[in-house]
């Protein structure tokens, strides 16, 4: 597949890393020569320096025979024009654009992206994706990572194994015997910085980061078995009243179980806009690092603090201060992946990586076969891929034990006629079934081969 990626920033670079590692023909375009050079020096990609919306630049990038273009520059307008040029001049079939401005994303204006207007096939909104990730973190406070699958009927949970975990030093095969009705599987373990797919004889040890795939109905029970308490979130303080903070506060306001929310925003104009856009939420204008203001927000009684300003260091420090003042749980928005190792020493419970959430969204629309969802784990170490099985797929009609899955791969769950099934080796996968597969990144091309019979984007 020949792909042009416009924008060599964090998201563009990560997408290029994914696709070039899977032997796709990737060209990166950016008007910053340094970013282009970084991409060509570190990845197996071609680089073009220039403005992505210029037809001659796209022509030099090979647009005449490209299969897909991903417009992920810092400018919404450049991304939109790039897709228009790709469609009108070069007839590129698949066009994905990252758009940030909320006005472009309002549902009543969705006709804007039809083929006879602005021909964008897929619109990705980082702020929307991040807000949804924040809500997932709040819904599972005991987990450092979480994602929903199979129409909300299953969840991936990332949990840290503590010394008081009841199932440490127990072979995983024994968990099935001890908890025979538990619809959950340990699909991945990170130990000493290395992520691996565990075998039935592996054990969990204190300090391990464990990825658990479970039916949504069994989330609370699974967390309890692994020594985690699922506390109810009734009082939440959000630091940062921009698009992300506003979206989270709005969602919390609409919940049936009443959640009391307070928003702290430093910029007066943004704070006033947030106050106008919210009904039951208290908005405070001031610095989220100010202990007196945090005290006024009653941070000591809050069940969670969510720091989502546009500055990583502010988010980290605000989370630390809130915990120090008595807040039960802290979640920080962190763009810079090199800061993630500080989470543990700083006692920050969970983090949200906007780059990872945006990359996961884009990958969902790139993968071959009937892929319904993709979630990128860690620093692109692995993916959980949810897909519908085609009748011509090598999987169809076979038992899991007879399918030639790569070694570092695990089937997390199978959904048959809307019912989620915990898989065993004898589970037969039929046409139309939905499967969730945990795979190391280097095994993804082989998983795609098993999911498709011919190159088929959608």
With respect to residue 60, please indicate whether it lies within any of the assigned structural domains: yes
Residue 188, helix vs strand vs coil? strand
Domain co-membership, 22 together with 120: yes
Per-residue burial over 81-116, b = 16 or more CB atoms within 10 Å of its CB, e = otherwise: bbbbbbbeebebebbbbbbbeeebbeeeeeeebeee
Give the model's pLDDT for residue 458: 38
Domain-ending residue, one of 124, 143, 168 = 124
| 324-367 pLDDT tens trace | 999 988 999 998 878 888 888 898 888 888 877 887 778 777 76
Residue 246 contacts residue 274 (beta carbons within 8 Å): yes
256 lies in the same domain as 350:
yes
Between CA 127 and CA 261 the distance in angstroms is 19
- From residue 340, alpha-carbon distances to 177, 281, 360 in Å are 36, 30, 18
- 278 shares a domain with 262: yes
| C-beta of residue 58 within 8 angstroms of C-beta of residue 86 | yes
pLDDT recorded at residue 454 = 40
Q: Residue 357 half-sphere exposure, CB side, CA atoms within 13 Å? A: 25
Helix axes 268-277, 243-253, angle to 10 degrees: 30
CA end-to-end distance (rounded Å), the chain: 14
Within this chain, do residues 420 and 334 fall inside the same structural domain, yes or no?
Answer: no
Q: Which of 340, 356, 372 is the last residue of a domain?
A: 356
Q: What is the spatial distance between Cα 458 and Cα 453, in angstroms, rounded to a whole number?
A: 12
Q: Domain for residue 207, yes or no?
A: no
Residue 194 within a domain? no
Quick: pLDDT tens for 145-198.
888 899 889 999 999 898 888 888 888 888 878 887 888 899 999 998 889 999
Domain that holds residue 292: 235-356
Q: Is residue 202 part of a domain?
A: no
d(CA 391, CA 335): 41
- Name the strand (E) or helix (H) holding 304: strand 304-307
- Say how many domains are in the chain: 3
In a shared domain, residues 376 and 340: no
Q: Does 143 map to a domain?
A: no
Provide the 8-state DSSP code for 166: T
Residue spans of the chain under pLDDT 50: 454-458
CA proximity to 358, closest of 391, 333, 338:
333
Angle between helices 126-139 and 243-253 (to 10 degrees): 50
Instruction: Please check whether residues 294 and 317 belong to one and the same domain.
Output: yes
Among 92, 124, 156, identify where a domain stops: 124
**CA atoms of 444 and 434, how far apart (whole Å):** 17
250-284: pLDDT as tens digits: 888 887 677 899 999 999 999 999 999 898 899 99
The answer to whether residues 285 and 391 belong to one domain is no
In contact, 50 and 22? CB cutoff 8 Å: no
Instruction: Please compute Rg for the chain using Cα positions.
Output: 23
Cα–Cα distance for residue pair 406/160, rounded to 1 Å: 27
| Together in a domain, 396 and 442 | yes
Shared domain for 329 and 412, answered yes or no, is: no
Report CA-CA distances (Å) from 128 to 105, 125, 132, 354. Answer: 9, 5, 6, 10
Q: Looking at the structure, do residues 13 and 120 belong to the same domain, yes or no?
A: yes
CA distance 405 to 21: 19
């Amino acid at each position: 597949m020949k792909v042009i990626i416009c924008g060599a920033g964090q998201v563009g670079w990560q997408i290029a890393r994914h696709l070039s590692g899977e032997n796709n023909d990737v060209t990166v375009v950016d008007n910053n020569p340094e970013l282009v050079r970084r991409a060509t020096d570190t990845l197996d990609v071609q680089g073009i320096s220039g403005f992505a919306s210029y037809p001659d630049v796209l022509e030099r990038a090979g647009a005449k025979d490209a299969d897909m273009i991903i417009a992920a520059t810092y400018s919404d307008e450049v991304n939109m024009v790039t897709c228009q040029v790709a469609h009108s001049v070069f007839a590129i079939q698949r066009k994905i654009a990252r758009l940030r401005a909320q006005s472009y994303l309002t549902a009543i204006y969705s006709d804007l992206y039809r083929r006879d207007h602005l021909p964008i096939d897929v619109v990705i909104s980082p702020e929307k994706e991040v807000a949804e990730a924040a809500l997932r973190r709040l819904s599972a406070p005991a987990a450092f990572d979480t994602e929903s699958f199979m129409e909300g009927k299953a969840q991936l949970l990332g949990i840290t194994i503590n010394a008081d975990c009841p199932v440490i030093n127990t072979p995983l095969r024994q968990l099935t015997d001890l908890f025979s009705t538990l619809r959950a599987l340990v699909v991945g373990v990170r130990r000493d910085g290395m992520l691996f797919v565990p075998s039935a004889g592996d054990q969990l040890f204190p300090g391990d980061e464990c990825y658990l795939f479970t039916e949504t109905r069994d989330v609370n029970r699974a967390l309890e078995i692994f020594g985690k308490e699922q506390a109810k979130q009734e009082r939440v303080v959000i630091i940062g009243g921009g698009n992300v903070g506003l979206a989270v506060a709005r969602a919390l306001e609409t919940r049936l179980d009443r959640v009391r929310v307070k928003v702290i925003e430093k910029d007066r104009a943004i704070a006033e806009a947030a106050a106008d856009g919210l009904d039951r939420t208290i908005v405070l204008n001031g610095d989220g690092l100010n202990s007196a203001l945090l005290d006024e927000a009653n941070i000591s009684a809050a069940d969670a603090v969510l720091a989502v300003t546009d500055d990583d260091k502010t988010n980290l420090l605000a989370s630390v201060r809130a915990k120090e003042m008595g807040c039960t749980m802290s979640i920080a928005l962190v763009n810079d992946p090199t800061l993630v190792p500080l989470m543990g020493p700083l006692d920050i419970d969970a983090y949200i990586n906007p780059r990872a959430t945006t990359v996961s969204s884009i990958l969902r629309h790139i993968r071959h076969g009937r892929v319904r969802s993709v979630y990128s784990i860690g620093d692109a170490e692995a993916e959980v891929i949810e897909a519908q099985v085609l009748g011509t797929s090598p999987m169809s009609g076979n038992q899991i034990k007879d399918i030639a899955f790569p070694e570092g791969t695990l089937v997390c769950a199978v959904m048959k006629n809307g019912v989620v099934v915990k898989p065993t080796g004898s589970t037969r996968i039929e046409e139309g079934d939905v499967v969730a597969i945990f795979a190391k990144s280097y095994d993804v091309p082989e998983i795609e081969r098993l999911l498709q019979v011919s190159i088929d984007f959608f």
